[in-house]
Copies of this chain bind each other. A is one copy, B any other.
Amino acid sequence: MDNRKRLVLKTIVDHYIKTGQPVSSQTLLEDYGLTVSSATIRNDMKYLEQKGLIQKAYSSAGRVPTELGYRFFVDWLVELSELNRRDQHAIIESYRFQRQEIEELLRQTAFLLANMSGYAGFVLSPRLEETQLESIVFVKLDVENVLVVIVSELGIIEHCMIRSPLSPEELQEIGTLLNGRLRGHRLDEVRDEALRFAEGDGWYDSTLRNAFVLLKETLERRLQRRLHVEGVFNLLPRLLGEGLLLEDALEVFTLLGDADRSSLYLESLSSPQVKVNIGSENEASELHPCSLVLMGYGFSGVLGLLGPVRMDYSKAFSITSYIGNRLRTILTLSHRANILTLTREASGQ
């Protein structure tokens, strides 16, 4: 394919992404100053159509990119650029007052993705089962209630309440024992270990056994991956604007609401680089009217954007990439911080 044909394709995609209107040879000439006649462009268009890169809705309509056309565009023609400074700054700013809680951090990241892009943003939480236990803390609240706090490598916490008559000293002892035994283990191992403790006989009184059951349950619940989605009301009008039926658009959101299914799917696409799935390249048939721009941010976590197939891929790439790297940095830093902490607080409860 010669350069002019590539340029014609690129211009068609650019223009269609911008306006949503089928592109005619005339428009191409007028708006983009090509130095050939409209007839020549029409010939090129015919060639591109034969190659399956563009198509027309009917015989005398302007051209529209096919999914293959978008794919070619994304792979060879799109101009990648860094996110502009203002947006970069806004993102950094919005992370400034970030609290340490990871789910809150992820939720906010999804929010950022959505707001910066105008599409839907999502963040699939990291696989916590792959992270290591930092410590388990028992805190006596009053005569009968004990608070259990679980801290992972990522600084993530989970807590639950149990009733136990054990004294603070006994609790401390148990805490030391558990921490000595489980610290540094993967959280899924910790969960299994908790189950084993709960089922082992003779070692502990029934109250404590209950505590282990509870610990196991809490971990089990917490290890489920969570999918944070924001900006669905950005995406909806765009999908409807593409001529999608409301019914089918809602299917998209139903899928997003099914965290189990979506997680599994997104997980399979994880990669450190920004990737894109265009339309029916998505396995999930509900997503055929959509494109997915995503990247892994570490710890098997995935984030990205969900937009219509007619999506500003260039912008989507730069936003996803910038925010993804930002989040990766934040998580990695807290990771390091916690490892440092570990050595200094060996005696802590």
Q: What residues of chain A have their CB less than 8 Å away from a CB belonging to chain B? A: 99-101, 134-135, 137, 139-145, 147, 149, 151, 155, 157, 159-163, 168, 206, 210-211, 213-214, 217, 221, 233, 236-237, 240, 246-247, 250, 253-254, 257, 336-349
Q: Nearest 5 CB-CB pairs, A to B? A: A142-B341, A100-B161, A210-B346, A214-B346, A213-B346
List, in ascending order, chain B residues with CB within 8 A of A233's CB. 250, 253-254, 257
List, in ascending order, chain B residues with CB within 8 A of A257's CB. 233
A101 to B162: give the CA distance in the assembly, Å.
10
A340 to B339: give the CA distance in the assembly, Å.
35
Copies in the complex: 2
A155 to B141: give the CA distance in the assembly, Å.
8
- Considering the complex, give the chain B residue whose CB is closest to the CB of A210: B346
**Which one, B139, B211, B237, B344, contacts A149 given CB within 8 A?**
B139
In the complex, the answer to whether B342 meets A160 with C-beta atoms within 8 Å is yes
- Considering the complex, give the chain B residue whose CB is closest to the CB of A135: B141
List, in ascending order, chain B residues with CB within 8 A of A348's CB. 140, 168
CB distance from A201 to the nearest CB of B (A): 15
A282 to B59: give the CA distance in the assembly, Å.
51
In addition to A163-B339, A213-B346, 7 A-B residue pairs with Cβ atoms within 8 Å of each other are A100-B145, A137-B139, A140-B348, A142-B155, A160-B342, A236-B246, A236-B250
CB distance from A199 to the nearest CB of B (A): 12
List, in ascending order, chain B residues with CB within 8 A of A338's CB. 142, 161
In the complex, the answer to whether B162 meets A159 with C-beta atoms within 8 Å is no
List, in ascending order, chain B residues with CB within 8 A of A346's CB. 162, 210-211, 213-214, 217
In the complex, the answer to whether B168 meets A349 with C-beta atoms within 8 Å is yes
A214 to B221: give the CA distance in the assembly, Å.
29
- Which of A257, A338, A342 has the largest count of B CB atoms less than 10 A from its CB? A342
- Considering the complex, give the chain B residue whose CB is closest to the CB of A104: B161
CB distance from A9 to the nearest CB of B (A): 33
